[in-house]
Structure 1
């Protein structure tokens, strides 16, 4: 599977996760989101950017429980809860948001 961004083919695995996270850019994120049926809002970007920062620091994509706690710590309980995150990413905030963020599939995600 591959996405096209700025005229270049960007490789992804069979589930749509980028094979090289360094090829990620915001245009590509928007395209992946569209494929996932998501229209990106500032709230979506907030989670995607948080995930990219988290990955940059820890070299791992957080599972949903870890993600929820980390977001609650940084952005408050209104955003750091499953209900809010699932409203943004209905197919799973860990799995779907990581895909849009160009990160590997989180460990523990089926």
Structure 2
């Protein structure tokens, strides 16, 4: 999907949030060697809801707190999130959700 590259900034985030679709998320995930399962989608949708509510992508601390509030203790912890997403989970989820890079992410 070479056209995908045209939609991204230098950090791999969409330049325009309106270009996001589930198919774009799947293509971005494949670029990162990730196959999205139901658990991944649950967090991607959660982060998109967070963005709609607060107009920013959550950093890891905010993501864990929000996930705990919305999804419960089992899914609202950093161990669970780190098992699903590699490296910087908050940043990777934001990228897959079509959102800008979270504040405080390298």
TM-score, normalising length: structure 1: 0.90
SS in 2 for 1:96: helix
Residue 42 of structure 2, aligned match among 42, 46, 69: 46
* Equivalent in the alignment of 1:16: 12
Relative contact order, CA 8 A, sep 6+: which one is greater?
2
Q: Does 1:90 align with 2:90?
A: no
Alignment RMSD: 1.5
SS in 1 for 2:3: strand
Cα distance in 1 between the residues matched to 2:17 and 2:2: 13
* Equivalent in the alignment of 1:81: 77
Segments of 5+ residues of structure 2 without an aligned counterpart are none
| Bigger proportion of residues as helix | 2
> Is the alpha carbon distance of 1:88 and 1:20 closer, same or farther for their aligned partners in structure 2, counting shifts above 3 Å?
same
Cα distance in 1 between the residues matched to 2:7 and 2:101: 15
* Equivalences, count: 106
TM-score, normalising length: structure 2: 0.94
* Equivalent in the alignment of 1:35: 31
Segments of 5+ residues of structure 1 without an aligned counterpart are none
> Is the alpha carbon distance of 1:21 and 1:10 closer, same or farther for their aligned partners in structure 2, counting shifts above 3 Å?
farther
Cα distance in 1 between the residues matched to 2:16 and 2:52: 14
Residues 18, 103 of structure 1: 8 Å contact kept:
yes
